Structure 1
Amino acid sequence: MAGPTTQFWQERFEKKETGWDRGSASPQLLAWLESSELQPCRIAVPGCGGGWEVAELAQRGFDVTGLDYTAAATETTQALCVASGLKAEVVQADVLSYQPEQKFAAIYEQTCLCAIHPEHWFDYARQLHQWLEPQGSLWVLFMQMIRPGATEEGQIQGPPYHCDINAMRALFPQKDWVWPKPPYTKVVHPNLSHELALRLVRR
């Protein structure tokens, strides 16, 4: 399988090499919640990492399922929820094969897509579509991480991998998803890159 292995991510957590972790929930998630655009529902958080978004959603009354590839991430998320007295389902699973027992009304996608090798993006996009109910929402932040090797030599560099917006339109096509009109919200990220935030609706 192309891309980072479970052991790669496990070691990043064990060595605390988690520069993507803000130490709190994403400001864009908070903005969506505080504007009431995102209402309590059954929601998945793939690539839940340190669990900040899982805990925030659980605190606000969502039925949350956090998913991650590594034991370190799921253990960290579970511990955060327990320490905060919050209830959430936390599952160690490969998002490319995971199947929920019940479909979700929403998915919060921030750090999973950009951590998966682009060779597997179409499989992951199909999974997200299958996980959602019809008219379900994909609240997504597309990582913008342009590197010289990619633009000048065509190299695939990451993680995090650059989620070019034109590539994202091919990955999440109009026949399957309703796209909002640009411009999209720019969210500054700790690693000096930024994300583009938008809501896609499953057809």
Structure 2
Amino acid sequence: MSGPTLDFWQQRFENGDTPWDRGAAHPQLQRWLDEGQLAPGLATLVPGCGRGHELVALGRSGIAATGLDYAPAAVALARERLGDLPGRVLQADVLDWAPEAPLDRIYEQTCLCALHPDQWRRYADRLHAWLKPGGRLLALFMQARREGAAEGRVEGPPYHGDINAMRVLFPASLWDWPAPPYPAVAHERGWFELAVVLTRC
């Protein structure tokens, strides 16, 4: 399998070697909450939830979201952080997992860019299958272009989510795209993410 293994992620979380972690929920999450994109009563998923910062923010807003993560260490950390707040954390491989019922919202921040691009097509198909028609994918597409890209190298994680590649991965035949420009949210490591809300057709 291309890309990072389960052992890779487990060791990262066991050792606290998670430089992508802001130490708090992504600032775009609060904007989407303020806009009503996320709300109590909407079946919400956070794939690749890591330490669970977003699950905590959602739980404090009364949203019982489901978080998924591949690494047992991440699941344990997220469950500890979530505590008695609404929500739950499951250990699962997003390429094989399926929800009990179709979802209203998926908050996609760190999962896509953590997967090797060879796996993106399968993951994108899963996202589409998980959502109800009219459901929304709240995506933060990572912009982390490396110098090696000029030589055709695929480097990560995080893997660069070029917007043209995202348009192919989430085609207009399956997803309703808002018109650009899209908000760019900076990361302290010099990357940034494009915030895009896609609606499942």
Runs of 4+ in structure 1 deviating by more than 6 angstroms, as ranges, are none
Instruction: Structure 1 unaligned segments of length 5 or more: list them.
Output: none
Give the 5 Å matches for 1:90-129: 90-129=89-128
Amino acid of the structure 2 residue aligned with 1:14: E
Distance 2:161 2:173 in 1: 20
Aligned 8 A contact 2:142 2:194 in 1: yes
CA deviation map 1:28-64 (0-9, x unaligned): 0011112333322110000000100011111111131
State the AA in 2 paired with 1:147.
Answer: R
List per-residue Cα deviations over 1:113-150 (Å, max 9, x = no partner). 00000000000000000110110000000000011101
Aligned-residue CA RMSD (Å): 0.9
Note the 1:17-166 alignment, pairs <5 A: 17-40=17-40, 41-82=42-83, 85-150=84-149, 152-166=150-164
CA contact (8 A) 2:62 2:86 kept: no
Could you tell me which amino acid in structure 2 is paired with residue 56 of structure 1? A
Identity %: 52
Q: Distance in 2 between matches of 1:94 and 1:105?
A: 20
Query: For residues 24 and 104 of structure 1, what CA distance do their matches in structure 2 show?
Result: 25
With normalisation by structure 1, the TM-score equals 0.96
1:6 maps to what in 2?
A: 6
Partner of 2:180 in structure 1?
182
TM-score, normalising length: structure 2: 0.97
5+ residue gaps, structure 2? none
Q: Partner of 1:63: helix, strand, or coil?
A: coil
